[in-house]
Structure 1
C-alpha cells in the first residue's frame, strides 16, 4: 500500500512538472509573438494627430436656434395674388353718394376688379401705394374727381408648403405668405426629428426674378397722377425668392451667415436624415461587436469600450483606431491608450462613424493570460489526484 502511494505521488509531481514546462513554453511563444507585434503601415499618435485625421464635429440640431430662419425683410403689407383686400372709397359728405365697401380678391394677373372702375393692378404694391393707384384710376377714367381711398388687408393668401424628411410630423401645411419661411415650416411640422441632419433642401415651384412693378405705366397714366394725391413716386419692388431650388446648412444659417429663406406656394422642404455608420469594437473586450453611432452626440474611445462591456484583460491598455478617410484608399491607424485616455481628455479621442476600435494584445496582456492559463491548468491537474 505504501509503495503504491509513493508511486502515485511521484507520478503526480512528474505530470505537473510536464504541464508546467509546456505552459512555460507557451508563455515564451506568446510573449515572443506580442513583442514582435505586427510590422505594418505608419501609426499616428493621438497627441500628434493631424487635423485631416480628426473626427468631424458632431452637431446636435435639436440645440440649434432656428429662429434666425424667419423672414425678417418681408413686408406684410405687400399685396400678392390671392390676397383679399378691403377697399373703401369716399367721394362726398353724403354717405349715400359713397360706393359700398368692397372686398376684392387679387387675381392671377395681379389686379383687382372694382365695380364701375374696372381692373386695377396692385400686386407688389404696399397698401398706401395701392390706395393711390385706385384713386388715380378713378380720376383718369372719369369715375370720381377727388376720391379718398382706404385699402386694408382683409386676408392674406396662404402658401401650401410640403415638409418631409427628418421632422416630427410630415405633411402639407398652410402658412401665411407673410411668414412663409423655413422656421414657420419647422414649427408647423412639430420641429426637427431626433435623426435630423444639418442640411435642408428647398424646392420652390417657380423662380420669378425680383423686378420693379411699374403699375402706373402698365395700368394707367404716369407718375404725375401719384404726385397729385401726395404719395411717393418710388417704384415698388416685388419681394420674391430668385432661386427655384436651394440648400440650407442649418449650422451656418443659425450663426448669422445670412440668406433668403422665403417659401413660395407649393414649395417642398426636405430635411435630411442622418444615419451614421456603426463603429466596431474588437480585441480584448468582453463583447466585441458593431455598435450604433449615436445621432447628434459625440462618441469617444472610453465610451466605445463601455459599450463593449469593458476589457477582458485587466492589463489591456494599447488601443488602435482604424479610420477610413474619403480622400484616401488606405485607412489611417491611430494609437492611444486606456490609461492616457483616463488621465487626459484629449487622449480620449472622439470617434468618427465607421471607426474600428481595437484593444490590442501586448506582452503584458499575453503574460497575464498565460499566468491565468497556468494557474487553471495546475489547479485542474491537481484536482484529478486529490
Structure 2
C-alpha cells in the first residue's frame, strides 16, 4: 500500500490549499473587530446603568399627593345638619309628623361654587375645604350665644357627594370614563373604579390633563411590584389616567451558545453573566468562544456595551449582574470560525472515509 506524498513546500496538499486561504481571509476580516475588555472604571458605570425606567418627577408627586386626615367638604356636596335645639328655637312648627313629631327635620343644604352653605336665620358660612367637625363648630358659633342660651348639638354628615369624571385607559380591567364621588377623587379610587391593574402588571402610570399652571405636563409614577401604584394622588376631575402596559421582563442570549433565545427575568430574581450563559445552554464546545459582550439601555435610553475576555477576566464576568432587558452576545471571532472549519473538515473527512471503506467492502 503506497502512502501519498505530502510535499508542504509546494503546497500540493489539498488540506493546505483549503486552509491557507481561509486562515488569511478570516484573520484579515476579523482583525481589530473585537474591542478590548472594558476597563474597571467604565465597567463600574456600566453596572450602575439600567434597566430603563420612566423618569419620575418627584416634586410633582409631592405637590399632588393625597392629603391625609378626615374628609374635607368640596363644592357641590349636599350636607345634612341635625341640630334639633336650633331648629326648634327658630322654627317651632317645622317638625316631622308621626311618632317623632317632636323632632325637627334636619337642615339640608348644598355647598355652593363659592364654597359656602346657608343656615337658617344666620345666613352663609364657609364650608368648602373644611372637615365636618369644623363645619359643626362653625354652626354652633353662629347660633350660640346669639340665638340659643346653651351650646346646641350640631351633627353634620354628607348626604350626597358631588361626582366628577375621569378617563382610565391602558392596562386596567375596565378601561373607560368613570365617575368618582368627592370622597373617591384619588388615583387609587380611579383605578378601583376601573377594576384595578390587569394581572400581567403595568410598568408606569401617567396622569394627563391635571388642572393648574402645569396642566400640560403629565405626571409619571412607577408601579410597585406589578399592580400597586407608587403613590396615591389627589384628582380634581377631567384627568386622563394612562396605565402603561408592562414590557415583558426578559433578557436575551445570542451568539455561540447551544440554545440562543430570550428568557424570562422574574421579579425579585438576580442573574449573573454565568447564569445567562447557562440559560443559553452553555458555550459552543466546538467554537470555544473567548469574548462576551453585554448590551444594556441606561435610564436615558442610551445603549451601553461592556466586553469581557473569559480567559482573563472570567471572575469579573462571573460576578456581573445581568439586568432586565440586557442582551448577552457570545462573540464569533476568526479563531472560533477557524475551529468550526477544522472540525467540519475532520468530521467530513471521517464520514467520507467511512463511506469509501463501505463501498470498497461492497
Q: Distance in 2 between matches of 1:319 and 1:71?
A: 49
Q: Distance in 2 between matches of 1:292 and 1:122?
A: 58
Q: Structure 1's 352 and 35: CA in aligned 2 closer, same or farther, altered over 3 A?
A: farther
Structure 1 position 134, deviation (Å): 3.5
Q: Structure 1's 359 and 259: CA in aligned 2 closer, same or farther, altered over 3 A?
A: closer
Of residues 153, 156, 160 in structure 2, which corresponds to 1:152? 156
Q: Unaligned 5+ residue runs, structure 2? A: 55-60, 96-100, 225-229
Equivalent residue, structure 2, for 1:201? 206
Q: Distance in 2 between matches of 1:324 and 1:129?
A: 56
Contact persistence 2:36–2:307 (CA under 8 A): yes
Give matches, 1:200-349, under 5 Å.
200-203=205-208, 205-207=210-212, 245-250=217-222, 261-275=233-247, 282-286=254-258, 291=262, 301-302=273-274, 305=277, 310-321=282-293, 323=295, 334-337=306-309, 346-348=318-320
| 2:111 aligned with 1:111 | no
| 2:339 aligned with 1:367 | yes
Q: Structure 1's 332 and 85: CA in aligned 2 closer, same or farther, altered over 3 A?
A: closer
Report SS of the residue matched to 2:13: helix
Of residues 43, 47, 50 in structure 2, which corresponds to 1:50? 43
| 2:152 aligned with 1:164 | no
Q: Distance in 1 between matches of 2:326 and 2:348?
A: 38
Q: Distance in 2 between matches of 1:181 and 1:171?
A: 16
| 2:75 aligned with 1:81 | yes
Report SS of the residue matched to 1:207: coil
> Alpha-carbon deviations, 1:254-273, whole Å to 9, x = none?
xxxx9882112333222334
Structure 1 position 15, deviation (Å): 10
Question: Taking structure 1 as the reference length, what is the TM-score of the superposition?
Answer: 0.61
Q: Unaligned 5+ residue runs, structure 1? A: 1-8, 62-67, 209-241, 253-257
Structure 1 position 282, deviation (Å): 4.6
Of residues 158, 180, 200 in structure 1, which corresponds to 2:185? 180
Q: Distance in 1 between matches of 2:139 and 2:304?
A: 72
Q: Structure 1's 48 and 245: CA in aligned 2 closer, same or farther, altered over 3 A?
A: closer
Q: Structure 1's 126 and 378: CA in aligned 2 closer, same or farther, altered over 3 A?
A: closer
| 2:13 aligned with 1:21 | yes
Equivalent residue, structure 1, for 2:139? 134
Q: Distance in 2 between matches of 1:374 and 1:151?
A: 96
Question: Taking structure 2 as the reference length, what is the TM-score of the superposition?
Answer: 0.64
Higher relative contact order by CA 8 Å / sep ≥ 6: 1 or 2?
Answer: 1
